[in-house]
Structure 1
Amino acid sequence: MASAEELKRAAGEAALDHVTDGMCLGIGTGSTAEAFIRVLADKVQAGLNVIGVATSERTEKLCRELSIPMATLETLPQLDLTIDGADELDGALRLIKGGGGALLREKIVAAASKRMLVIADESKTVETLGAFPLPIEINGFGMVATYLAIQEAADGLGLSGELTLRRTGEDPFITDSGHLILDASFGRIPDPEALSRALHDVPGVVEHGLFLGLAKEALVAGADTVRHLTV
């Protein structure tokens, strides 16, 4: 049986088949994305010419350590392809992302790309999103009011569950963009699109981890093969 790390590397290696010379590449955040970064670095050292835009400071640091040429989204505002992981994906390639806290930048980079390719191991596939807590990035100002408004919006959709302020030790977790994250344990989310609209209607919500309509392809690594999923 392949280990989780072996599956992540298999997905990362399969993603290299979608990277061509001269690409402007959005590079994701998280353990599966890091597996891709390491195999990408080997290709770059062998002569592959790409320029990357990172979705987090952590990714930026790793890419530069591995000598992958990097730019910012300000200098490269239109990208050919973003390769990123997911905390959950369903059969329509709707995603929950943000377990690593980079959801805002991940979504901006994905939206600036012609294509988004998801890489994951088979444990991340679900019939219905929601087993993984949904990260919701919020402004620090008015945090309690925002919390209550999110709770009310969820109640209106028949969703319940705990909203937990993400912490690093005793201190609140702060995203790269200076915001807070609430992790919403809603359980099954039967209508992700309705929840997305309801959350965006809350003024204190900066962004949420539902990635809807962004990914058209996914590479899912299992014990025997890497499946290429499309919608």
Structure 2
Amino acid sequence: MRQIVLDTETTGLSAETGDRIIEIGCVELLSRKLTGNNKHFYLNPGRDSHEDALKVHGISNEFLRDKPKFAQVADELLDYLQGAEIIIHNAAFDIGFLNKELELIGRPPFRTYVGSVTDTLVMAKEMYPGKRNSLDALCDRLGVDNSGRTLHGALLDAELLADVYINLTRGQDALLIEVTTETAHGINVQVDLTRFTLPVLLASEQESEAHEDVLKQLDKASGGKTLWRLINSQEASQPVA
């Protein structure tokens, strides 16, 4: 499926009390690779940004005065997003603002236009319980260079999030991998790895103990809320038929 990594900047924190979107950045992925087919809009929100928001994104009210309203770019944006999987960090925030913008111009909610929504904040919390999972924290943890991020910006943040997402989901790559090599005559040869029988290596007693120790540390960090402990506890309490 075509994937779009999306981010927004806004005048403040509450769409319900009148804050609006001022910037939308979108980055396209096909087969987990950047295509360069991106979208970027600055928008005139019809109101000034809160002082705290200005400190975050640095986009001045004056700069936005001659930019288009959301209604003027809505068709272009929705056509671009149509049917794609949308990847957002803290999706509830961005979708709440997008829904409000769509409501104001008499359009259906955001999710009716897209294939699905993936929230990388939810993914990160499941993978790193008890740790900071902001975009900056994930960039540091996963080795994504965010040295150019002195202020928040929708397109830059979407580009960083695309790298973060690829790193977060690297273990989900299909096992049916095709390795392409090039011969001396310049002919590409594809090798289907599914033909190979891979040996099964069982963990040693020492490795199993080390693994259990890591699980205990994760369980402690999450306050005993790790999923595998809950499942084991539920299974243990089930009556034997």
Q: Is this a same-fold pair by TM over 0.5?
A: no
The structure whose Rg is larger is 2
Shorter chain as denominator, the TM-score bin is under 0.3
TM-score by length of 2: 0.26
Which structure has more RCO (C-alpha within 8 Å, separation ≥ 6)?
A: 1
Q: Answer 1 or 2: which has greater helix percent.
A: 2
Q: Which has the higher strand share?
A: 1
